[in-house]
Amino acid sequence: MRAVAIPAPGGPDVLEVIDRDVRAPGAAEVRIAVRAAAVNPTDIGLRAGGAPDLDPPWVPGMDAAGLVESVGDGVDRVAPGDAVMAAVMPRRPDGGAQSELLVVPAASVVPLPAGSDAGAASTLPMNGLTALLALELLDLADGATLAVTGGAGLLASYVIPLARERGVRVLADAGPADEALVTGFGAEVVARGDGFADAVRDAAPDGVDGLVDTALLGRAAFGAIRDGGAMAVVRGWDDSPTERGIEIRPVAVRTVLERTEWLDLLRERAGDGRLTLRVAAEYPPERAADAHRAMEAGGLRGRGVIVF
């Protein structure tokens, strides 16, 4: 089976397509014939730094969609021929989602959202789980206020409506060209850039109760948060002290890839239109480097998708 591979750490040009064997599914596992696999920032990190604890080549990709090809013992929720989406950890011997055949735990597999094709569905699992985990870690009550950085991005577009259905007020940043888009997700729009914290304080003078930092502003976002509030960070934290009692809550999505009930919730929300699935562009595996370049250039509204 063909797979996108990283033979050694480096820039986009190190990516290549390889042929590899893919094992049969074991107990409580599913083998998927992948039709589409999204490209995410985590793939850029794997390409740039490799996985020192695993022998190369490394296969990137944290989420995929396609058809169930076979199932292992004990799997009864899905069957061969079913259209499904899945979340997967690429830093494992079996590798990640950007492969024509993919073996994953059955708990990480659910049917496609109603009305969705494989390309669109492949943008949902990992980012949707990240959004749900960030909100769980912040644990905001009905009536609380949340700020979200990177409001026009894919992750933010899932965080915002999922927070709104919990009764949380959401402030998110956007440039003029994206104001209508971000308002459509359910947020009140504030200015992006150096004035973000001040713009949030104009809308919420006491500061927000929590913040999901999808744009990686880090400390620059602290001014938006009230004393004793919390910030969910999606790329880790350096463990340095914060200020004013603000708590840092790292979001480790690898810990929730088998939360089947969350994947089902995401599937339902996308199926009824409460979450919008966005594909920025589609690429054959031979053009995976172009997908990486587009992501690194910034400004994507959705995800690039590798299509087999």
Structural domains present in the chain: 2-124+277-307 (3.90.180.10), 127-253 (3.40.50.720)
59, 170, 172 from 131: Cα distances, Å:
24, 14, 14
* Residue 235: predicted pLDDT: 87
Report the C-alpha gap between 270 and 121 in whole angstroms: 9
* Residue 300: predicted pLDDT: 86
**Residues 179-209: pLDDT tens digits?**
999 999 999 999 999 999 999 999 999 999 9
Low-confidence stretches of the chain (pLDDT < 50) are none
79, 83, 132 from 116: Cα distances, Å:
19, 10, 21
* Residue 154: predicted pLDDT: 96
**Residues 223-272: pLDDT tens digits?**
999 999 999 999 888 888 899 999 999 999 999 999 999 999 999 999 99
